[in-house]
Structure 1
Amino acid sequence: MSIVITSGHCFHCGLPNTEGNAFPTTIQSILHHMCCPGCQAVSQAIVENGLESYYEFRTEPAARGDAALDNTMSKLAVYDEPELQEEFVFEEGKYKSIQLTVEGITCAACGWLIEKQLAKLDGIKQVSVNVSSRRAMISWDESLLKLSGVLSRLKSVGYESLPFQPDRHEASYKKEQKAFIKKLGLAGIMTMQVMMLAMGQYFDVLGSLEDETVSFFNAVSLLLTTPVVLYSGSIFYVSAFKALMARTVNMDVPVTIAIVATYIAGIRVVNKNTGEVYFESICMFIFFLLIGRYLEHRARHKASLTSANMLKLIPVTAQKQTADGFVSVLAKQLVKDDIVLVKAGETVPVDGQITEGRSYFDESMLTGEFEPVIKTVGQRIYAGSLNQQDSIVMEVEASVKYAMMNQILRLQELAMANKPKVAAIADKLSRYFVVVVLVIAALTYSYWTMQNDPHAFWIAISILIATCPCALSLATPSALTCAMAKLNELGILLKRADALEQLTQTTDIVFDKTGTLTRGEFAIARTWINPISETHFDIQKDTVKPYVMALTNCIESRSEHPISKAFERYIHDNNDTEFSSNDFSISDYTVSIGEGVKTAVNQQHYLLGSQSMILSSLNAPLSREIGEAIKGANVLLSSGGVVLAAFWVTDTVHPDALDIVRQLSQHELTILSGDTQVNVNSIAIELGIKNAVGNSTPKDKLDYIGKLQADKKRVVMLGDGINDAPVLAAADVSIAVGNASDLAKNAADVILLNPKLQSVVDVLTMAKRTKRKIKQNIAWSLGYNISVLPFAVVGWLTPWQAALGMSLSSIIVVYNSTRLMR
């Protein structure tokens, strides 16, 4: 008869329940409460395994659940504290996101297992595991799930996890590498010893061996093999156990079966003193497999090292302005609006805007371009860039957590969540392949047993070893990781990995004009000054032009129109300092959108703007002579009904635009712009682009892209402005170029961190190379497994030969992928 548990006590162990309703378990349709996570875990395991009747017939309370689990939960609960999360948890509306370092990931199946297990939790929005870098990007709803719950679930399926930090991540890698070397070293040493004993029996080098000597050699071989099986091979058993606990199979399942079965068979032979042992095959198998895993481990780490090391470029300390002057503080403590001093030779600690000074900065860690960039007051500088010349003072725009470099790494992790179709197919195929291998091995064993073949068991073992689909599971993720690492070096950021696959199917490339094909920086190509200006301004002839330019710049300085920068740049480039803003007093400033400016300068009224605005305000029609002189000018200056000056302000084409257009000639190219049709046609003719569409509103651009897609075209859109965001989002693949607006970057699939258009060709080339590598990897791995299977089935392949072939297959796939980084 079942015991009675006192009310308020733990239903499992009977001890006082001080936690109330914190740890519930439903047993036989009744909700009971446990005192700790350990009791809850044990009771849930009893229920899940259909053993609920235990609680009906027990005569004593159970022992309390694992105290270690209780302690673990208490430790993990620390990560729920807002102060601790401030450093590594990102807010995304109602969701939070975090990047975790996950220890214990050995293959693609581990990533699949983690994603499936976490997806079962209420509140999880997205889980993506990057097997190559051993990191996981997780988004969840804080109101439904605590971070400690996520970490706890990962621990329950056998994976230790911590918030990603470069130093800890590197320490984790070194810890795993050290464990690999220990296991590999032990397996190598013992393999040599066991092989020497086996060679004596194979070739009778000691003469005709007596049965007692053979038995002794076998016993010693068993002794030497045991630590290899129990320690060196443990990595495979743990992985297989995790998969089976999650009711699935991975490639380590057949490996584990092969090792354990061969080892047990050898023990039986030693005890009975009859039959053959394959201890040398076990040791060689584990040794070869560990070599393969170790080389994969190093290659994956190398591929992810570029991105991980970017964060190490951010300095630990910064010089912050206080009441006592500039003092040294931790960079991660900086917040918005703090004032920071960056001396020559120092690295910028956080993203911000220059408030004092002017210097050259090396931004190669972001853009891939090693040529220094000059930055001055009002311009943005990024964490990790190197100040090469003079000291500057900057105002912090956001904390280190939201620095551009951090955002790049987060976006790269998110990119791996969007796996290409070929990756999903390969992952699914590898899991089915394992099942097929197990079935074929069982059928082969049955057949050879019925044929009374004494080697039936070893033939089945060879099948399990030779056809393990490790290489197939590595085919896609290894190539994607290497491709993204190389693109990162080139200053190209992918926000979703499947964009690479879609880029290979591109038929049409559509360019925005301003800021994409052109610099987006207006310049004064030509000026004209009316001869009567000398009399109008009452100044000497040789000072008329400097005076007019300074006056125009002073008027334009209050405008936010991009053209205004052209006059400021003209003054700066020509070192025109004879007149300054102090010489002019502005009042009654009125802007007519799309037309120009009306204002009073030194109590004299002026108009500065388009031809249509100025000409309509004149007292009399222009003379033929002046009309010819100002033909084509797009900015005029007038006063008192007289045109005083004319300016030809143009947007210059990118110096590499023509070369890029030629390299992309196999695609259908189009310019789609909001600029006038005349200007768009001019750029199109200069670059040799046939399709030019101007005067386009954001809706017109959307309609144009939609029309192309309706005709079954695959469209890549390049843009940089706020008005490009909708059409970037609508394109099959969108690319934000140069100094794109934040809105354009958010909408884009690919972000070019440097202003050179060559990056467009680079990303298209890399997409084709990556697709080719993935196909090569899958073809090789499938080809190897299919071709080796007949040899294993007919018994021509020994276990150690199978182990060598399988390991080499995986190494070849990883090596082939790393060639993308060259």
Structure 2
Amino acid sequence: MSTTCFHCGQANPAETPFTVTLLGERRELCCPGCEAVATAIKENGLEDYYQFRTEKAAKGDASILASLDALSVYDDPALQEDFVYQTDDIKQIQLTIEGITCAACGWLIEKQLSRVSGIQQVAVNVGERRALVSWQASNITLSLILKTLQKIGYKALPFEPDEHEKSFKAENNRFLKRLGLAGLMTMQVMMLMAALYFDWFGNIDQDTKQYFYWVSLVLTTPVVFYSGSVFYIGALKALSARSVNMDVPISIAVLATFFAGVKSTVLAQGEAYFESICMFIFLLLLSRYLEHSSRHRAATISANLQQFVPVTANILDETNTPIRGLAKSLRPGQHVLVKAGETIPVDGIIIEGAADIDESMLTGEFEPVNKQVGDTAYGGTINRVGNVIIKVEKTLKEALVNQIIRIQTTAMAGKPKAAQMADIFSQYFVVAVLLIALSSYLYWTIQGSEQAFWIAIAVLVATCPCALGLATPSALTCAMAKLNKNGILLKRAEALEQVNSIDLIALDKTGTLTEGKFILHHTWITEDVSLEQACRVAATLESRSEHPIANAFISEELLALNNFKVTPGYGVSGDIDGKHYKIGSATFTSAHHCGFPKQANVFLQRNDVCIAAFEVTDKLKSDVAETLRLLDQRLIILSGDQLKQVQHVAREVGITEYYGGHTPEQKYQLVQSFQQQGHKVMMLGDGINDTPVLASSHVSVAVGNATDVAKSTADVILLKDKINLLPQLFRVSRQTRKIIRQNIMWAVGYNLCILPFAVSGLLSPWMAVIGMSLSSIIVVTNSTRILK
């Protein structure tokens, strides 16, 4: 007689030769593909997968060996350009994984990949069928990672953003099916059981009552075994890891109440609480659905940024003729034409024309920004007015939009300390709930009470810490979404907690408080050098510098430059016409005793002799002074510029404490001294010279015009080049802390208040169901207030 495949559930051929011993029994399989997959799972010690799963796996690939060989193509560097992000030796990719059918699949994938040498991080999102994988390129290849997954039955391909919404909809449909079934059956069962409890049908005979019980049992069964299956899977996973979570008491309460009701119905004696079971599962699913929706809303704020990036672009050829091509094929140095009304395809510099560009998808500001020649335009922003030609600076993979998505995905994968502490506390709380329920049962049994079982069930239900488990993650998820929507990008979720403790803010001057758009105000030279020569040498040296001050030195004709070197925080140097030149601060060029006026702040040195000095001026950013007045923390300016210029800016913005002429090392040491005094320091910077102090501060913030090095070091990135987003960061941080405290106080307070009633037998199971479920819904709803 034909059987079904133990792995995929499809029909086996007659007398199938494909068998594997799994879970202590000989299992029949339908094909070589399923046999290979099942064998791989067994050999890796992951047979528990078959116990945890709620649905059959996808059919194994019969040509698995040929498929594994074909995966080697993904090691091609040219192919990886589109979807692999690399920093040093660490590579990262998001994979779409086919074959995931339930939560156990996510467990299996994480366990399997975590055992592979060279894998740094694995985070599987079962609902979206995605995995974020980081690995050491020197230890393992991408094809080996894909082969490892395929051997246990999962086909993995690079994630395509277009599939994001499709994945959510599939998960959302599963949620709604379970929730809809539970809701529908809850209404039917409650009508029947409530009528019996309150004698709405009048004096009905025992046979009719028993009939109603049987009907309620039939209606409740699919709710328990379909809608409630998510809780049993979670409980089994926790117990297999020798731990407990909130799904454990939920599963015990549901199954114990159900089978007690079955016994009562079959034997026609005792009590049955079928309406409580249905209502319990329905309200639990409702609270988790709300959490699922809020998490999706947060995730799509970043993920949906991809929809703004166009598929095609007007690429200019050698004759400046626009040719329609793929945006993802653009490479640095190419030129693209962007007309009014079109979306800018990738990040680049405007080299011709001017435009009003809508950057609201990045910054949240709907007022178009006027962009001129030399300004940066970002992929995904919309050209409202004017035609421009843009020189491509970065590939689509490295564009700001994709950087935001990668950073946000990584931040969401990590757990802040508050969430970790809540998880640990929840585990202990669950253990306490189980012990209290057991103690209550034993006590009332000894007392001879017939309600001992139902009292224990009421304790399990009423004190289940679902609300406590949702208190922190739901609030943090909503907070990160709110900040991201307003142009504030968090790279570390725990940075949001640390912002609350900040009592000192250190601000860099150039590019942070000022616009960073320098102009050459005055020049002084020595007698043996011409003004034209000094300016041309200065422009040549500064042409390779990333510091904003370099923009003040522009020349049509640059000289040949050799041995160029950047000394962060000091200046740059190089050889021109056989002579060694330096340009930068007075310390860097030994210009302290050269006799130039005090207002000079940039100096040019030739072969150890200072030959020219420049006064370069900058303009304060608009609304800086107003923004700083909104901050309650102690404010200081920490700059490498001359003290006189720092003092001038400090007076303009109303800051009384300032430090000028500091090298990167001196900035770092000063911040260290503040921290040793007990201060919690936030540093705002934008340049390479700010990197050491950004890394050492408790929370580091990079403004939108910061260098890539500063952004990579910072914990928070302001997507606009102004600091007026800073008060918003503090407001959301304070609101999040307040919401988390409210959630925890409510969750703990509710459990402490309801426990005496449950233990004393004054609380029936249906009352416990309503109280516990409403507690979870209140917590999730309270968290979503952050999004408003």
**TM bracket (short chain):** 0.7 to 0.9
* Correspondences of 1:740-755 after superposition (within 5 Å): 740-755=706-721
| 2:389 aligned partner | 393
Corresponding residue number in structure 1 for 2:695: 729
Q: Structure 1 515/181 Cα, relative in aligned 2: closer, same or farther at 3 Å? A: same
In 2, Cα distance between equivalents of 1:673 and 1:122: 45
The question of 1:519 aligning with 2:515 is answered yes
**Cα-to-partner distance string for 1:202-229 (whole Å, 9 max, x where unaligned):** 2333332222222211111111212222
Partner of 1:272: 267
1:450 aligns with 2:446: yes
* Distance change (3 Å), C-alpha of 1:807 and 1:79: farther
Aligned-partner SS, 1:178: helix
| 1:263 and 2:220 matched | no
TM-score normalised to the size of structure 1? 0.77
Q: How many Å separate the matches in 2 of 1:240 and 1:247?
A: 11
In the alignment, which of 59, 63, 66 is matched to residue 68 of structure 1?
A: 59
**What does 1:729-808 correspond to in 2, within 5 Å?**
729-808=695-774
Residue 415 of structure 1, CA deviation: 2.4
SS in 2 for 1:521: coil
TM-score of the aligned structures, taking structure 2 as reference length: 0.80
Tell me the distance in 1 between the aligned counterparts of 2:718 and 2:230. 41
Question: Is 1:249–1:431's contact at 8 Å kept on the other side of the alignment?
Answer: yes
Alpha-carbon spacing, 1:70–1:646, altered in 2? closer, same or farther (3 Å): closer
Match of 1:362 in 2: 358
**Structure 1 143/354 Cα, relative in aligned 2: closer, same or farther at 3 Å?**
same
CA distance in 1, matches of 2:560, 2:209: 109
Q: 1:587 to 1:294 in 2, by over 3 A?
A: closer
User: What SS is found at the alignment partner of 1:250?
Assistant: coil
Does 1:663 pair with 2:656?
no
**Pick from 519, 524, 542: which aligns with 1:560?**
542
Q: Number of matched residues?
A: 722
Task: Flag the 1:14–1:178 CA change in 2: closer, same or farther, 3 A.
Answer: closer
2:725 counterpart SS class: helix
User: 1:657, 1:182 → 2: CA distance?
Assistant: 52
Spell out, residue by residue over 1:75-129, the C-alpha distance to the aligned partner (whole angstroms, 9 max, x if none).
798766236655433223322212357899999x999998777645432323457
| Equivalent residue in structure 2 for 1:94, among 89, 93, 115 | 89
Identity %: 50
Alignment deviations for residues 173-220 of structure 1 (CA, whole Å, 9 cap, x no partner): 111222222222222222222222213322333332222222211111
Name the structure 2 match of 1:235: 230
Long gaps (5+) in structure 1:
1-12, 18-33, 50-64, 529-547, 569-580, 600-608, 619-629, 638-644
Matches for 1:165-204 after TM superposition, within 5 Å: 165-204=160-199
* Distance across 2 between alignment mates of 1:46 and 1:120: 11
Counterparts of 2:62 and 2:240, CA distance in 1: 23
Q: Does 1:698 align with 2:694?
A: no
1:542-582, CA deviations, whole angstroms, 9 ceiling, x for partnerless residues?
xxxxxx999999897656286674587xxxxxxxxxxxx99
CA-to-aligned-CA distance 1:442-497 (integer Å, 9 cap, x gap): 22122222222222222222222222222212222111111111111221111111
1: distance between equivalents of 2:147 and 2:239? 19
Backbone CA RMSD of aligned residues: 4.6
Aligned equivalents of 2:571 and 2:174: distance in 1?
A: 68
**1:141 and 2:132 are equivalent in the alignment:** no
Say if 1:614 and 1:636, in contact at 8 Å, map to a contact too.
Answer: no
Matched, 1:817 2:777: no
Deviation digits for residues 270-322 of structure 1, max 9, x if unmatched? 22122221111111212222222222222222232322211111112222345
Taking structure 1 as reference, are residues 809 and 73 closer, same or farther at Cα in structure 2, changes over 3 Å only?
farther
Change (3 A) 1:85 1:678: closer
Matches within 5 A, 1:405-554: 405-523=401-519
Aligned to 1:249: 244
Does the CA contact (< 8 Å) of 1:105 and 1:134 recur in 2? no
- Determine the C-alpha separation between the residues in 2 that align with 1:595 and 1:216: 90
Structure 2 partner of 1:328: 324
What is the CA distance between 1:657 and its match in structure 2?
A: 2.3
Supply the distance in 2 between the matched residues of 1:91 and 1:277 (Cα, whole angstroms).
59
- Corresponding residue SS for 1:514: coil
Alpha-carbon distance, 1:740 to partner: 0.8
Measured against aligned partners, the alpha-carbon deviations of 1:28-49 in whole angstroms (never above 9, x if no partner) come to xxxxxx9823124346659999
> Quick check: 270-279 or 111-120, which moved more?
111-120
Contact preservation (8 Å) 1:417, 1:497: no
3-state SS of 2:59 partner: helix
In 2, the alpha carbon distance for the partners of 1:67 and 1:305 equals 28
**Secondary structure of the corresponding residue to residue 517 of structure 1:** coil
Determine the C-alpha separation between the residues in 2 that align with 1:46 and 1:724: 48
Structure 2 residue runs without a partner (length 5+): 1-14, 20-33, 50-55, 525-529, 565-569, 577-584, 605-611
1:36 is the counterpart of 2:31:
no
1:365 Cα deviation (Å)? Answer: 1.7
Q: How far has the Cα of 1:158 moved from its partner?
A: 12
In structure 2, C-alpha distance between the alignment counterparts of 1:726 and 1:589, rounded to whole Å: 29
CA contact (8 A) 1:633 1:648 kept: yes
**Displacement of 1:430:** 1.2
Asked if 2 retains the 8 angstrom alpha-carbon contact of 1:128 and 1:414, the reply is no
What displacement does 1:725 show? 0.9
Offset from partner CA, 1:114-161 (integer Å, 9 cap, x none): 877764543232345789999654312356556687679999999998
Cα displacement (A) at 1:589: 11
Shift of 1:378: 3.9
Separation of aligned partners in 2, 1:85 and 1:464: 51
CA distance in 2, matches of 1:72, 1:255: 43
Assess if the C-alpha contact under 8 Å between 1:595 and 1:613 holds in 2.
no
1:242/1:330 CA distance change after superposition, 3 Å: farther
SS in 1 for 2:635: strand
User: Alpha carbons of 1:375 and 1:709: their partners in 2 closer, same or farther (altered >3 Å)?
Assistant: same
User: What is the one-letter code of the residue matched to 1:511?
Assistant: L
Q: CA deviation at 1:668?
A: 2.6
The match for 2:641 is 675
Please give the alpha-carbon distance, in whole angstroms, between the structure 2 residues aligned to 1:99 and 1:286: 34
Q: 1:122 to 1:795 in 2, by over 3 A?
A: farther
Which of the pair has the greater relative contact order for Cα pairs under 8 Å at 6+ separation?
1
Q: Secondary structure at the match of 2:732?
A: helix
- Taking the aligned partners of 2:480 and 2:63, their CA distance within structure 1 comes to 36
Structure-2 change in CA distance of 1:727 and 1:414 (3 Å): same
Match of 2:75 in 1: 82
Give the Å deviation of 1:417: 4.6
Shift of 1:345: 0.8
Please give the secondary structure, in 2, of the residue aligned with 1:518: coil
| Aligned partner of residue 509 in structure 1, secondary structure | strand
- CA deviation after TM superposition for structure 1 residue 716, in Å: 1.2
Q: CA deviation at 1:72?
A: 11
Aligned counterpart, 2:26: none
In structure 1, C-alpha distance between the alignment counterparts of 2:241 and 2:147, rounded to whole Å: 16
- Amino acid aligned to 1:140: W
Task: Give 1:700 deviation, angstroms.
Answer: 1.3
Measure how far apart 1:801 and its partner are.
Answer: 2.1
Moved more, 328-337 or 399-408: 328-337
Pair 1:302 & 2:269 matched: no
Report how far residue 427 of structure 1 moved.
1.0
**Alignment partner, residue 716 of structure 1:** 682
Shift of 1:384: 0.5
Three-state SS of the structure 2 residue aligned to 1:755 is coil
- Partners of 2:149 and 2:211 lie apart in 1 by 46
* Cα separation, partners in 2 of 1:275 and 1:183, compared to 1, 3 Å: same
